[in-house]
Amino acid sequence: MRVGIYGKAFDDSFIPNIQVLFNTMKLFGWEVTVYEPFLAFLRPRISMDIDPNDFNKFVDIKDNIDILLSIGGDGTFLETIHIVRDSGIPILGINTGRLGFLASTSRDNIKSSLQDIKDGKYRLQTRSLLTLETEDNLFGEDNFALNELTVHKKETSSMITIHTYIGDLYLNSYWADGLIVATPTGSTAYSLSCGGPIIVPGATDFVITPIAPHNLNVRPVVVPDSRTIRLKIEGRGQNYLCSLDSRSVTIDSAIELVVRKTEFEINVIQTEGQNFLNTIRNKMMWGLDRRN
C-alpha cells in the first residue's frame, strides 16, 4: 500500500496519536509519502523508523499513491481536494481536534481505521463538487469546490442584490448580505448556519441559501445539480467577495458567475462503523434530549 499524508501543524497533545499512525504504517510495511511542509513539522516531534518520500503538488502523487490521509480538521480536508483533483485517489480524514463532518476519524480510532483499510473493510463514498466558470477564469485551474461558492458584500454595510437564474430561467433577486450555492457536502457547513437544509451525500442537488436576507419570506431552494446556476451582483459598492471553500477573490459587478456540477467526484474512505448519519447525530448532538 502506497500512502500519502497531507496535514497541518497541531498541538502537542496529538503527538502520541501521530506516533501511533507512523508506527502502524511501519508495521504494515506501507510506503509513505508526506507533504513536504508537514514532513518538516513532524521530523523533530516524532520518531520515524521509516524514511518517507515527500511531495508538494498534484503531479508528484498522481500515479504514486493508493490513498491519501488528511490530518487536521475539515478545513485541511478541503485543501486535500486540490491535491488529489480528478485522480480518484481515496481520502481518509483524521481529526486532530473535534469531530468533523469530513475528518471523521477520531484520534482514538487511528489504528483500528488503518487496520480496516489493510483488511479491505471499508467503502468509498463519492462526493460531488461544483465548478465556477467566469469569463476571466477567476480561480484558474482551482475553480472547483467541495463545499460551496459564496458571494458576499465587501466595501459597505449595505446589502447587495444577487440576481439568480437557473439555466435561462429567472429565480429571484436576493437582497441580502450574500448568497451561498452549496453541494450536499457543503450543506452541513456555511449553508447550514444560514438556515439551509441538510442534504445527504449522494443526493444530486445544489442548495441556494441567502445570507441574512432582508425579506424573511425568502427561503433556501434545492436545485438539481444537472442545472446551471447563474449569478449577477449589484450594490452600492464596487467590489464584492467571491469564495470557493476557503479561497477568496475580489470581483466587481461586471462579472457573471456560472455554477455547474464538476465532471469528477471525490472518493472519501469510510471504515467500519463510520457513516454520515452517525456523524450527523454526534455532531448535532441529537439524542441527548431524553425525549428523542
Please, what are the domains in the chain? 2-128+265-284 (3.40.50.10330), 130-261 (2.60.200.30)
Q: Is the pLDDT of residue 140 over 70?
A: yes
Amino acid at 168: D
Query: Is 205 in the active site?
Result: no
Query: What 3-state class would DSSP assign to 201?
Result: coil
Residue range 217-224: mean pLDDT, rounded? 96
- What local confidence, expressed as pLDDT, does residue 212 receive? 95
Q: Is the pLDDT of residue 92 over 70?
A: yes
169-199: b (≥16 Cβ within 10 Å) or e = eeebebbbbbbbbbbbbbbbbbbbebebbeb
Amino acid at 62: K
In this structure, of 60-64, 176-180, 190-194, 264-268, the range with the lowest mean pLDDT score is 60-64
Mean of pLDDT over the chain: 93
> Exactly one of 54, 60, 66, 74 is catalytic; which is it?
74
Estimate the crossing angle of helix 15-28 against helix 110-118, to 10 degrees: 20
In this structure, of 30-39, 47-56, 190-199, 278-287, the range with the lowest mean pLDDT score is 278-287
- What local confidence, expressed as pLDDT, does residue 279 receive? 83
The secondary structure element, H or E, covering residue 248 is strand 247-252
Residue range 207-229: mean pLDDT, rounded? 96
Give me the torsion for CA of 236, 242, 245, 247, rounded to 10°.
Answer: -120
- What local confidence, expressed as pLDDT, does residue 292 receive? 61
Residue range 90-112: mean pLDDT, rounded? 88
The secondary structure element, H or E, covering residue 191 is helix 190-193
In this structure, of 41-50, 171-180, 189-198, the range with the lowest mean pLDDT score is 41-50
